[in-house]
Amino acid sequence: MAIFEVESWHVREGKADEHDKAMKAFLEWVKAHRSLFTEWKSLRYFVKEIAGQNSDRHFIMWEYDSLAAFEAYKKRRKDYPGPFAEYKKHDPYHMDVFDHNSMEVEIWYDLERPLWLV
């Protein structure tokens, strides 16, 4: 069963332009280095609107084939060895553009996927 790791946050006040540029650069870097992320089925990026106090909350969602694939990736990336040192340099999380007090991390499981309209 696929799982989804979902991180969400608000942009740090006064950092919207820097945030948007950093996210675009990060996604471009990840796409250019896709071979580093064999456990990822997909990576998606969203923003939530018309949601009261959660308006403008940004989400990034990683899809994995299974919890085992998620755990294998996290173990392999732990402490950012080798090529993951470069990943860390591109990760906006480390660029002071997120309001870290607003950050949330969740694991989502899909339900009834054969019935989805895709």
Dist. CA 56–CA 19, nearest whole Å: 12
Dist. CA 19–CA 77, nearest whole Å: 23
Q: Residue 1: its pLDDT value, please? A: 86
Note whether 62 and 37 are within 8 A (CB). no
Note whether 41 and 64 are within 8 A (CB). yes
Tell the burial category of 118 from Cβ atoms under 10 Å away from its Cβ (0-12, 13-18, 19+).
exposed
Q: Residue 51: its pLDDT value, please? A: 80
Q: Residue 80: its pLDDT value, please? A: 94
Q: Residue 54: its pLDDT value, please? A: 87
Q: Residue 52: its pLDDT value, please? A: 87
Domain housing 67: 3-115
How many domains in the chain? 1
Residue type, 57: R
The domain that holds 66 is classified in CATH as: 3.30.70.100
- Write out the chain's pLDDT in tens, 118 residues: 899 999 999 999 999 999 999 999 999 999 999 999 999 999 999 999 988 888 999 999 999 999 999 999 999 999 999 999 999 999 999 999 999 999 999 999 999 989 999 8
Note whether 63 and 37 are within 8 A (CB). no
Residue type, 79: D
The rounded Cα 86 to chain-centroid distance in angstroms is 16
